[in-house]
Amino acid sequence: MRGKTAGRFRLVLRTSLGFAALGVGSSVAGAGVVALLLLLQGLPADVGSNGWILGATAGGVVAVSLLIGTLWTAYLQRRTVVWFTRGQPPGKDEARRALRLPVDMAVVSGTLWLLGALALGVLAGVLGSLRDAAGIALTIGLGGLTTVGLTYLAAEWVARPVMTMALDVLPLRGSLPVTVLTRLIVTWALACGVPLIGVLLVATPPDLSQTDPTPSLVVLSVTGLVTGALGVALLARAVASPLHRLRVALDRIARGITDVRVDVDDSSEIGMLQTSVNDLVAGLREQDRMRDLFGKHVGTDVARHALEYGASLSGDVREVTALFVDVVDSTALAFRTPPQELVDKLNRFFASVVSAVDARGGLVNKFQGDAALCVFGAPTRLADGPTMALAAARAIRDAVVSEGELDLGIGVATGSVFAGQLGTSSRLEYTVIGDAVNEAARLTEDAKSVPSRILAAEVTVKAALGGEREHWRLHGELHLRGRHQSTRAWTD
């Protein structure tokens, strides 16, 4: 907990210092470049001895702008710093303000540069000439555009942690606060647009100054290179970094890993893509949960069969071995045992059944109160279903007897059955129907009075492998209820 708190404190401190450095640093750097250009161009040229007035005014404008910009930025930050510092989710209004933070900071910077250009331009016109006013206003205006663009791109980068928390509360829907196209346009303006406009103003008529334009062109070129590099770096970080995280997340999803979540920290189309990936993962997790729940209700093999072939009234006739297991004297047991205690005993009993059958490739087709029908050979075909079924019957008997809670009978029979979906188009159940199932159920009734508690039809024992047949001996011929032919039954 202490480490988590310390980490959040460092994150909050880094974000706050980033905003402060961004507001002051961009303005100072922009003002320095503008002052250098004006000096190289010899502007203003016609103010004479009144130049100190213009210089003092420019210094005052810069100082006032820095003060106002710092206070304005602090006010914008104050609206997010409380909930962000505490790590609490913002309200919807707070989230909206947080998402507007880069635009608001650009507006602050742009407003102050515009007021400075107007004030100094008008003063230069009063003290000098219209040419001085135009030169100063255009130079300051271009410097302001560059500063505003850098401020916007850098504010988006600094505000990523704030954006993440805000977008959790206010997901992107409908129109976007910003687009990738907006960032591309701003980056183009920083790298090409503004510097080239400055070059055109310096190198083409009408000349705004009488000095050699070469130094100014050099400064404009260097400024364009630096601002262009910064703009492209910020754009790359804003686009390439989240795309890289998305690629890593999709790679994990492709490998079947669904405990993936991408932080939504972008308010453009990239943020929509991050949200879509999270929605995709949530859908996959829900499918896995439903598949797991479905498999627990009907068996993993049946679930896989249904997902592969669809939900339809279909099936086929195949050779299977049916194993039926039932609790002895369940009515009297229910009478003398409290319901919860009885359920606990039955759950332990069924756990032994499922464990033995699953371990041998069979399917627990259904639970019927205190009985269970197990199938070997459907829906998954088995090379040696009779052997597996007989081994499972012995394992179930041994496990239940060792627990000493319940008595049981087990019947095993082999034959052709219908295996498939039964019911209606709105309600289906995978089941097996045929004489082998009925024979196994009838053998279970007689097995309850056999010391071994297991009876198997002779066809099943004869079809088993030699190693398994060695466990079995002939019990005798039985006339099973509902069947016209006698059954030669074997016991272990």
Mean pLDDT value of segment 169-192: 79
Domain's final residue, options 224, 255, 286: 255
Answer with the one of 206, 228, 255 that is the final residue of a domain.
255
Kindly indicate the confidence band of residue 107, based on its pLDDT and cuts at 50, 70 and 90.
confident
Q: Is 34 within a domain?
A: yes
How does residue 455 score in pLDDT terms, banded at 50, 70 and 90?
very high
Q: What is the pLDDT of residue 470?
A: 92
Sequence letter at residue 55 = G
pLDDT greater than 90 at residue 440: yes
In angstroms, the CA 180 to CA 157 distance is 14
Question: 349 or 146: whose pLDDT is higher?
Answer: 349
For residue 198, pLDDT beyond 70: yes
Tell which wins on pLDDT, 464 or 163: 464
Cβ–Cβ < 8 Å for 253, 235: no
Is residue 9 scored above 60 in pLDDT? no
Q: How far is residue 183 from each of residues 98, 164, 240, 439, measured CA to CA in Å?
A: 18, 19, 13, 76
Q: Is the pLDDT of residue 229 over 60?
A: yes
Give pLDDT, residue 3. Answer: 47
Query: Is the omega angle on the peptide bond into residue 89 within 30 degrees of 0, that is, cis?
Result: no
Is 285 part of a structural domain of the chain?
no
**Does residue 225 share a domain with residue 340?**
no
Answer yes or no: is 306 within a domain. no
Question: Residue 147 above 50 pLDDT?
Answer: yes
Q: How much is the average pLDDT of 403-418?
A: 92
> Residue 278: beta bridge partners?
none
More confidently predicted of 446 and 66: 446
* pLDDT above 90 for 171: no
Domains identified in the chain, total number: 2
- CATH for 330: 3.30.70.1230
pLDDT tens by residue, 282-328 = 888 877 776 665 555 555 665 566 556 555 556 778 899 999 999 99
Claim to verify: residue 169 and residue 60 sit in the same structural domain: yes
Q: Distance (Å, rounded) from C-alpha 424 to C-alpha 185?
A: 60
Residue 270 has pLDDT above 80, yes or no: yes
Q: How far apart are the C-alpha atoms of 430 and 423, rounded to whole Å?
A: 9
Q: Tell whether 88 and 209 lie within a shared domain.
A: yes
The residue from 211, 237, 255 where one domain ends is: 255
Range of the domain at 433: 315-491
Residues 246 and 361 in one domain: no
Distance separating alpha carbons of residues 278 and 246, to the nearest angstrom: 10
The pLDDT assigned to 335 comes to 84
145-166 mean pLDDT? 80
In a domain, 284, yes or no: no
Q: Are residues 78 and 167 in the same domain?
A: yes
348 with 231, same domain?
A: no
Per the domain annotation, does 194 fall within a domain? Answer: yes
265 falls within a domain: no
Looking at every residue in the chain, the average pLDDT score rounds to 79
